[in-house]
Structure 1
Amino acid sequence: MTITPDSTARDQAGAVRAGEISARELLELHLDRIDARNGELTAIVSLDPERAREGAAAADEALASGAEVGPLHGLPFAFKDTHEVAGWRTTYGSVLYADHVPATDELIVERVRRAGVVVLGRTNVPEFAAGSHTFNRVFGTTLNPHDPTRSAGGSSGGAACALAAGMVPLADGSDMGGSLRNPASFCGVVGLRPSLGRVPTWPQPNHWETTSVGGPLARTVDDVALLLSVMAGPDPRAPQALGDPGSAFAPPLRGSLAGLRVAVTTDLGGAFACDREVAAVVAASAGTLASAGARVDDEVPDLREGEDVFRTLRAWHFQATFAERLAAHPDAFKTSLADNIRAGADLTGADVARAYAGRTTLAHRVREFFTTHDLLVLPASQVPPFPAEVEYPGAIDGVPTETYLDWMRAAYLVTVTGCPAVSVPFGRTADGLPVGLQLVAAHGRDRFLLECAAALEVLVAG
């Protein structure tokens, strides 16, 4: 088998272990691809080829010595620039942290490094990962690899772009309002937002904050499962972590859609506007799923509390995290983020209590929905990739958007349920831009969700 930067991560890792290609050779293939495409796309930032070459040499030496190696041994990797990597520049896309170099790895980085990756750089993010379009004043804008005039999405936009362009075989990300699912949809890759507690986070200022989670991106569902198997599992430092070991999610995946009870919706019963081309792709999935033996209907859970829940908890979290820095450096924040932070200052204890009560109601309602359905299918993003020079689309199918959050409802209404959700490439617009299908399963059913996504991927491949 000839290994290229576009080969699956499983094939690349297997070839390194088998001695069919060295980690050094694999790294050079990816550095060549980065050299060819990154100048235009700005997906990889803080690139350090020489340090990466040292890491690849060490990986080859470890393998030659007979040492036990991890499942990602020798794979080139670039961590999202909001995840702290010891000794490596971590900017959060902010001018305030343009020269920040952490002393320690955060937990998700610790686990992926332990699995044997060769770090080569970081992936670009919006300022403090706020917003689903990747641009900042430190590195600039990440462009879509399918059409460089368009957005790559965000906040894991650099990660999704780098994957789609073959600069890395796997990527990490995080997701509050769609930051794993939206860029996966825009770039035509797979992005999983795991169940709450599946991928623990440490350190963080509030261990009980449960809107943002870490997760994997890859070009195939099988590769997403491979990376999830490394990221997932309990840790004593993360009190809300689920107890299943990461190995429970390792590929191969053997899923089927036959007999599943599936609800397909383009708008969650009118909960959000959807671009007509995106809606047509999602609607077409009903026939595809039915042809595979699924029982398809259009029943949807009532998520009406989700709007208030998400926006309240997001503003509360942002105000607690960034208010002091905004007061000290008001010009260092983009306007949309500054407004979001200031909105949190006006919240009362009653507002936050109402949001948590609403979230509890949602959790029970969605749990009941999944007693009669196995999957919920809806758009991963309400729009296709939009022009890169705008911060967010001004309207969706004629419905104006007033804030930088309005076009992400398809993702963030799922966020507040706590359920796992995955974006899988399913179709394209008339202009050839990718459209991702969002599959949602009951909380804790991450393995089942990936098996369903893998079965769908086979159908799409044809």
Structure 2
Amino acid sequence: MSDPADLSACEARALIGRRALSPVELTNACLARVKRLNPAVNAVVSMNEDEMLVAARASEDKVMSGMPLGAVEGLPFGVKDMINVTGLPTTFGSLIYKDNIAASDDPIVAAMRAAGGVVLGKTNNPEFSLGGNTRNAVYGATGNPHDPTRNAAGSSGGSAAALACGMAPLCTGSDTGGSLRNPAAFCGIVGYRPSPGVVPGNGRSIGLFHFSTSGPMGRTVDDVGLMLSVMARADRADPLTPVVDGRSVWNPADFADPPRTDAARWKIAVTEDFGFTMTEGIIRRAFAKRVDYLRPFLSQMVEAFPDCTGADRIFAVVRGVQMLSTHLAGVRKTPERYGPNAIANVAEGLAFTVEDVSAALTDQTAYYRRWKTFFETTDFILSPAVTISPRDWHELYPKEVDGQKTASYYHWLSLAYASTLSGHPSITLPIGRDEMGMPFGLQIVGRRNEDAKLLSFAREIEAICNANPEMAFPKVDINALAALPPIASRPGFMEFE
């Protein structure tokens, strides 16, 4: 067998089920990979190795005794440092919480443990997950495993980098404006943003706003489907999760094993910019190349996109309301304890009027209805996942895209928040490399609440692309990465202004 750390989650789980791989063996392989590669990228920021091995031995005992096994039995998983793991720090990437130790598990972590998962540790994110570059004043910067001088995107950059390095077969992520999809694209792994309510959450300050959601991250479509089947559950605490007679309206098993499908049967729209995003030329050219490659397999493919009128303004205002609900009091009280992105969020939110908010919420409803109408005659949309190729992580955020100035630190995330606004599920697939040699992420958007169908289609696209070495998922050069100096030795590692 090759190094167990390089197995996909589904491959490892199948071997564990057949007693051909020990959970302890897999756990030790992941720990060895962390020790070898984490200094170069700073993806995993806290761990409890002893507890991890205890959990792995408990899984091994279940396997050997013939007990029923959980869906993710024996699989290590990384946890973004925005949610609690008992006994580990939950810092949110903020100095305010640098000494905060969680007293209990977040429901997602509890569900993964109940299904046999083994907590690897916490993965890095920017302060309060604000931004598309994983840097903070507690743990420093996370580098891209394909080139640690470039950024891993954000805010789930630590999870994406850990997955690309083989530190764990699964990781949690969260997403508002692409926070798990963008790192997936930059690092060459798979990130899935589900429909609102599929993964219940207790972290949204405004529970009826659907912008923020947790989602699975893995190295294959089947991996994220497996993890989604555990994360999805009935929970009345989330007002966006429909629960009928104690059951979710979604069947979680459908995510783990979506039906096979013929990619040619579906009606596909393709767009490089949704009509409003500042997409970099490098990305446009890479996307066009992939569309040309896929065209023979997707016979009903046309250039089209939903009417996205007002997208930037709607996102800015509604997001601004969310940011005020979580950060206004703290920034007013102790502004010196917050980073530049949080300060900018509060200032922007305060600049909006009640009329602005009313108009944005009204416009978002119209936006959703236009997307609904578009999807009456379209099954999926293909687009780039991110507007730019990975850049130097010293750049807090892109100030310009091909000479056009960005309006804010999140403006460059517009390819992702186009679908966030409408609440449609979206997956990022790594499809080869761009002309800079960095991973290229393809975004596939499906109909709202048809998550199993989107996963099924994405799996077919994955297979089509992996059949061509030029389009296959890009791999990290493990030996080259291990030989690099620690990212902490690079100038600016802990600087954020």
8 Å Cα contact 2:175/2:193 also seen in 1: yes
Q: More displaced, 285-294 or 150-159?
A: 285-294
The separation in 2 between residues aligned to 1:117 and 1:217, in whole angstroms, is: 14
Q: Percent identity?
A: 37
Q: For residue 291 of structure 2, what is the aligned residue in structure 1?
A: 286
Aligned match of 1:459 in 461, 464, 481? 464
Query: Mean Cα displacement is larger for which, 279-288 or 133-142?
Result: 279-288
Per the normalisation by structure 1, the TM-score is 0.96
For the 8 Å contact 1:134–1:157, the answer to whether it is kept is: yes
Is 1:345 the counterpart of 2:367? The answer is no
Cα deviation for residue 13 of structure 1 reads 1.4
Alignment correspondent of 1:178: 178
Residue matched to 2:42: 42
- The one-letter code sitting in structure 2 at the alignment partner of 1:133 is N
Is residue 208 from structure 1 mapped to residue 208 from structure 2 by the alignment? yes
Which of 307, 312, 328 aligns to 2:317? It is 312
Decide which of 276, 283, 308 is 2:281's aligned counterpart: 276
Q: How many residues align?
A: 461
Equivalent residue number for residue 232 of structure 2: 232
TM-score relative to the length of structure 2? 0.90
Q: Which residue among 399, 405, 411 is the counterpart of 1:400?
A: 405
Aligned-residue Cα RMSD (Å) equals 1.5
Which of 290, 299, 321 is matched with 2:326 structurally? 321
Question: How far apart are the structure 2 equivalents of 1:262 and 1:289?
Answer: 11
Shift of 1:146: 0.4
Uncovered stretches (5+) of structure 1, i.e. residues with no partner: none
| Cα distance change of structure 1 residues 331 and 6 upon mapping to structure 2, 3 Å threshold | same
Instruction: Give me the whole-angstrom Cα distance separating, in 1, the residues matched to 2:234 and 2:289.
Output: 39
Q: Which residue pairs with 1:267 in the alignment? A: 273
Q: 2:268 matched to 1:256?
A: no
Structure 1 runs (4+) greater than 6 angstroms displaced: none
Aligned to 1:23: 23
Alpha-carbon deviation of 1:292?
Answer: 0.6
Aligned 1:328-339 pairs, distance under 5 A:
328-339=333-344
Partners of 2:262 and 2:119 lie apart in 1 by 36
> C-alpha displacement at 1:409, in angstroms?
0.8
Tell me what 1:382 maps to: 387
Give the whole-Å Cα distance in 1 for the aligned partners of 2:435 and 2:359: 43
Partner of 1:165: 165
Distance 2:17 2:69 in 1: 9
Further displaced range: 6-15 or 153-162: 6-15
Q: Deviations over 1:350-383 (max 9, x none)?
A: 2222121111101110011011111111110000
1-structure distance, mates of 2:167, 2:231:
21
- Partners of 1:281 and 1:426 within 8 A in 2: no
**Shift in Å at residue 3 of structure 1?**
5.4
CA contact under 8 A between 2:205 and 2:325: conserved in structure 1?
no
Equivalent position amino acid for 2:304 in 1: E
Kindly provide the CA deviation profile for residues 383-417 of structure 1, in whole angstroms up to 9, marking residues without a partner as x.
01111111112321221224211211111121101
* In 1, Cα distance between equivalents of 2:291 and 2:436: 23
Q: Give the secondary-structure state (helix, strand or coil) at the position aligned to 1:11.
A: helix
| Residue type at the aligned position of 2:378 | H
Report SS of the residue matched to 2:260.
coil
Deviations 1:293-352 (A, max 9, x none): 331111211112221211111111111111111122212211122111222223333222
1:9 aligns with 2:2: no
For residue 373 of structure 2, what is the aligned residue in structure 1? 368
The 8 Å contact of residues 170 and 218 in structure 1, kept in 2 or not, is answered as yes
- 2: distance between equivalents of 1:109 and 1:327? 33
Residue identity in the other structure for 1:281 = A
User: What displacement does 1:2 show?
Assistant: 4.6
- Could you tell me how far apart the structure 2 residues matched to 1:184 and 1:231 are? 18
Q: 1:374 to 1:182 in 2, by over 3 A?
A: same
* Aligned with 2:301 (options 271, 296, 303): 296
Question: For the Cα contact (< 8 Å) 1:319–1:342, is it kept in 2?
Answer: no
Q: Deviations over 1:118-157 (max 9, x none)?
A: 1121010000001111000110100000011100011000
1:223-253 residue CA offsets vs partner (Å, 9 max, x unmatched): 1111111111321222211421311211265
Q: Comparing both chains, which one has the higher relative contact order based on Cα–Cα distances under 8 Å and sequence gaps of 6 or more? A: 2
- Cα distance change, pair 409–203 in 1 and its aligned pair in 2 (3 A): closer
Answer whether contact 1:51 1:120 (CA < 8 A) is retained.
no
Q: What letter is aligned with 1:219?
A: R
Superposed CA offset, 1:234-283 (max 9, x none): 212222114213112112652321132111111112x0111112111212
SS in 2 for 1:301: coil
Give, as a single letter, the amino acid of the residue that structure 2 aligns with 1:91: T
